[in-house]
């Protein structure tokens, strides 16, 4: 076998450095949101900005372009993985070159500072305290979009491309329009039924149950951590270093669902093919596919009626006696609610429709930051029929805008659709999973996902990956069948 071209070796070495810097940035951000003392915020903002500047310089350096120019004429002679590595490297390099390093550094600094301001404003239930940081992030996002946009492309489309290559606002609007048409009648029908009594699960019971269920799913102490954060998230710091978080409140099982959701994110990154590690291909391909993995585990495993006996057994062992039907009733109850992460499967996408509308208007200039709380409250009334009592339960509930993540939100609803589509195909291939879930036997599910979704990493974009896994492009109908069955079951 011929030795690889020197340019390929050099490119791979640079991509490995960039992967390491990304891991270190995630580690610093994880620490900021879990372990760091509050007074560390200003220094952490500078540290993250420095990491971003170094990564930006390395990712956009002239020598990468020279290596790609040397490799592209001989790409057909390279192994398939290397061909994909070169192709994606060209895309990433050109995008990086469009954004000035000073802007990328300022975006990273503003994101770190914005998250600290958001946490304080949310605790104080005061949007006005957060508004200046948000206005700064909006302007930085607009400036970033101006640099990233192709000729004729709008600013919001340019930002969507940061999270899902090829996604457009027009495509999102079409899919969300189908949801907006089909979901409200189901929501109204379900909301008219008597609601089961809410659970009152003590926090200490929730903690023990979350830890036990995660162990059932495959989480161990050697390669995983579980911590608490204001907003649940996952940080992957290496192939065998996965950090999950959840949050606990007295009452229902939100902490459990959040932990299962974050497990799906972590498993995705752990099951990317090992040969792609420390390359530009060794990560999840898009945020919509990433969210499909978290939503598949949350909705199609965690909320599955066949899995309820497992949850009931762990709750009972932790000191909260409950039977499986009560678990099903709690996890599948349909009720319009204020908080996105607490929303049921049926109403959840409507929360995303609202955020999509609002952030698109912010970026495109149709909505001022000062008017955001009123627009949020009007949208919640229009889409979900609920009244927002305060900013903490409304416009301040999500961390994303404080971190400058505009264009991210659509992936949550798209993830619900992709998850339902993948689950239908998984059960067509493996058979119904009721017996396996009742025994907490999830290894075949994880293995199917590894083969059909996780292993390719970034070698396939969202729709090509979905077509490979299911034989079809993105569709709303599998999700509507799924939630329709939930609504019919009451």
Which DSSP state fits 298? Answer: I
CB neighbourhood size of 179 (10 A) = 20
Task: Give yes or no for a contact between 144 and 108, defined as CB atoms under 8 angstroms apart.
Answer: no
Cβ burial of 465 (10 Å; 0-12, 13-18, 19+) is buried
Q: Count of residues for the chain?
A: 490
Please report where in the chains the tokens 């027009």 appear, as a residue.
170
Active-site residue, from 113, 262, 269, 345: 262
Q: What SS3 state is found at 244? A: strand
d(CA 214, CA 165): 32
Element (H, E) at 356: helix 348-364
d(CA 368, CA 279): 40
Please report where in the chains the tokens 């993995």 appear, as a residue.
293
Task: Give yes or no for a contact between 413 and 176, defined as CB atoms under 8 angstroms apart.
Answer: yes
**Nearest residue to 119 via CA among 36, 50, 195, 53:** 36
d(CA 8, CA 336): 53
d(CA 358, CA 375): 8
Q: How many Å separate Cα 34 from the centre of its chain?
A: 18
Active site residue 387: no
Task: Give yes or no for a contact between 409 and 352, defined as CB atoms under 8 angstroms apart.
Answer: yes
Name the residues annotated as catalytic.
Answer: 262
């Amino acid at each position: 076998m011929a030795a690889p071209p020197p340019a390929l070796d050099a490119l791979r070495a640079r991509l490995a450095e960039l992967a390491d810097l990304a891991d270190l940035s995630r580690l610093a951000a994880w620490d900021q949101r879990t372990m760091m003392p509050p007074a560390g915020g200003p220094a952490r903002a500078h540290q993250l900005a420095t990491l971003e500047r170094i990564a930006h310089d390395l990712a956009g350096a002239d020598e990468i372009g020279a290596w790609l120019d040397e490799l592209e004429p001989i790409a057909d002679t390279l192994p398939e993985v290397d061909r994909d590595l070169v192709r994606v490297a060209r895309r990433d390099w050109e995008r990086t070159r469009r954004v000035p390093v000073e802007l990328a550094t300022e975006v990273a600094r503003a994101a770190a500072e914005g998250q600290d301001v958001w946490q304080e404003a949310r605790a104080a239930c005061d949007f006005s305290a957060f508004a200046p940081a948000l206005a700064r992030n909006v302007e930085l996002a607009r400036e970033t979009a101006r640099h990233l946009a192709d000729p004729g492309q709008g600013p919001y489309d340019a930002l969507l491309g940061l999270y899902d290559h090829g996604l457009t606002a027009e495509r999102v609007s079409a899919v969300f329009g189908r949801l907006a048409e089909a979901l409200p009648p189901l929501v109204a029908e379900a909301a008219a039924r008597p609601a089961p009594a809410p659970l009152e699960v003590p926090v200490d019971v929730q903690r023990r149950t979350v830890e036990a269920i995660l162990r059932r799913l495959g989480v161990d102490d050697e390669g995983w951590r579980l911590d608490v954060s204001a907003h649940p998230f996952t940080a992957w710091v290496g192939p065998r270093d996965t950090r999950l978080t959840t949050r606990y409140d007295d009452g229902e099982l939100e902490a459990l669902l959040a932990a299962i959701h974050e497990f799906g994110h972590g498993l995705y990154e752990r099951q990317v093919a090992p040969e792609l590690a420390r390359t530009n291909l060794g990560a999840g391909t898009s945020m919509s596919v990433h969210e499909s993995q978290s939503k598949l585990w949350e909705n199609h495993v965690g909320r599955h009626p066949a899995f309820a006996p497992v949850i009931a057994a762990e709750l009972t062992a932790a000191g909260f006696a409950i039977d499986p039907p009560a678990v099903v009733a709690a996890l599948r109850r349909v009720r319009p609610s204020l908080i996105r992460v607490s929303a049921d499967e049926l109403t959840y996408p409507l929360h995303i429709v609202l955020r999509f509308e609002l952030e698109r208007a912010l970026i495109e200039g149709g909505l001022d930051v000062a008017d955001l709380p009123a627009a949020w409250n009007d949208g919640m009334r229009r889409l979900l029929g609920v009244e927002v009592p305060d900013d903490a339960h409304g416009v301040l509930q999500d961390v994303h805008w404080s971190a400058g993540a505009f264009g991210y939100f659509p992936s949550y609803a798209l993830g619900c659709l992709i998850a339902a589509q993948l689950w239908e195909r998984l059960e067509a291939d493996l058979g119904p999973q009721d017996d396996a879930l009742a025994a907490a036997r999830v290894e075949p599910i994880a293995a199917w996902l590894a083969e059909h979704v996780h292993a390719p990493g970034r070698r396939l974009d969202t729709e090509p990956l979905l077509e490979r896994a299911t034989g079809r492009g993105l569709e709303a109908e599998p999700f509507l069948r799924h939630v329709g069955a939930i609504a019919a079951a009451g």
